[in-house]
Amino acid sequence: MSLKREAPPTAGLPLRAADLLPTSGSDLGAALARFLQVPAVQVTCSGTAALVVALKALHARAPQRREVVLPAYTCPLVAMAVAHCRLTVRLCDLQPGGIDLCPAALTALCGPRTLAVLPTHLGGRVADAAPARALAHAAGAWVVEDAAQALGARVGGHCIGTGSDVVFFSLAVGKGLTLFEGGALVVADPTLREDCRRIAREIAPFRLGWELRRSLELLGYAALYRPDGLRWVYGRSLRRALARGDLVEAAGDDFGPGIALHAVGRWRQAVGVQALARLPAWLASGTEQARERAARLRAIAGLAVLGDSPTVCGARGVWPVLLLLLPDRARRDAALQALWGAGVGAGLPFVHALPDYARYRALLTQAAEDPLPNSRDFAGRVLSLGNSPWLHEAQFDAICAVLRRCCA
């Protein structure tokens, strides 16, 4: 496969030159609130920062509750946010072959020490948050939906996360709409919402150095997020990491120790406002492409394509990626061997279930012998395929051929 063009690992919304000379205001929170049809959106410097703010606000309300329940297969930044707040990570196994939290495991985890439960809409897929709501609320805890990868997903005509206490989105590079790094926080209760705004003012003030750095990074994204630019800023370092056998770096799971906390400046917000105007059409065409491609992938014997949770009524997720499940780890690894680094946007969402990263072990206090069988099975069988329009039909055909051979 040609490496002149590099398909991105996710369907990030490209910027246009006109976005960089914004004319339509800089209140990204208000623009996102209109887009999501929610009363208010708080813009933060990352999805992780949004979670830190929410957890701090909740913990202030219930200081005796220190445990935060996460899916055992999720972004390591989520565990870092919990640890940053000096709270305790409790890992919940997934349902077999999916991203929903296992209700039996969740029942065992929820109690008087639980602060929050985080159902996670991995890869834009709508997970079923209802069991988490029932169990968490019965235990006096809150539900924070992690929709970092699901900006624009709807459930029954409402913004994803409606009915839960908090939902947050990521505006990081590669997650759809981007400020290079950014986040969006939606809080149902107005008093809690005000608490979150106050906490953000305290812990995440404007910092000129960070804003200059992120602004330059956003300019770099605008310039190089193109099929012929991605090779330089993404493909080359990916292939170098793969050549070294460093899968954690290849997947972008190699996070530094600290969490940056600062406000988002007006220029970057204004760029976001401009780009947001194109997001609905972008998501719609992504959905159409994903529907066609998922149907072709599902025709491959042994291959599963993750859909929205079948127990959620009126779920309409978004499609930054197609998440595939191969029959077993050996076949998944064979497919990865052929596709990862081949410039077609294939890879892993995250390399491991959280306890299996050596570098994040200190974040977890849970006994390492917890089997978490479904999360580990998922980590071993999943493969992510970017749903960018830059992935041409010929490349997609070639991917299907590899998957057919690997699943046979």
Applying CB under 6 A, the residues found at the interface with ligand PLP are: 46-48, 74-75, 77-78, 120, 122, 146, 148-149, 170, 172, 183
Closer Cβ to ligand PLP, 77 or 251, answer by number: 77
Closer Cβ to ligand PLP, 260 or 334, answer by number: 260
CB of 299 to ligand PLP, least distance (A): 29
Closer Cβ to ligand PLP, 48 or 289, answer by number: 48
Residue 399 to residue 303: CA distance in whole angstroms = 13
> Rounded to the nearest 5°, which phi and psi values hold at 70?
-120, 155
CB of 71 to ligand PLP, least distance (A): 9
Residue number of the CB closest to ligand PLP reads 47
CB of 398 to ligand PLP, least distance (A): 27
CB of 46 to ligand PLP, least distance (A): 3
Closer Cβ to ligand PLP, 165 or 407, answer by number: 165
CB of 403 to ligand PLP, least distance (A): 24
CB of 237 to ligand PLP, least distance (A): 18
Closer Cβ to ligand PLP, 88 or 120, answer by number: 120
Token digits for 319?
Answer: 């499609």
Q: Give the distance, in angstroms, between the CA of residue 99 and the centroid of all CA atoms in the same chain.
A: 12
Closer Cβ to ligand PLP, 149 or 395, answer by number: 149
Closer Cβ to ligand PLP, 234 or 396, answer by number: 234
CB of 50 to ligand PLP, least distance (A): 8
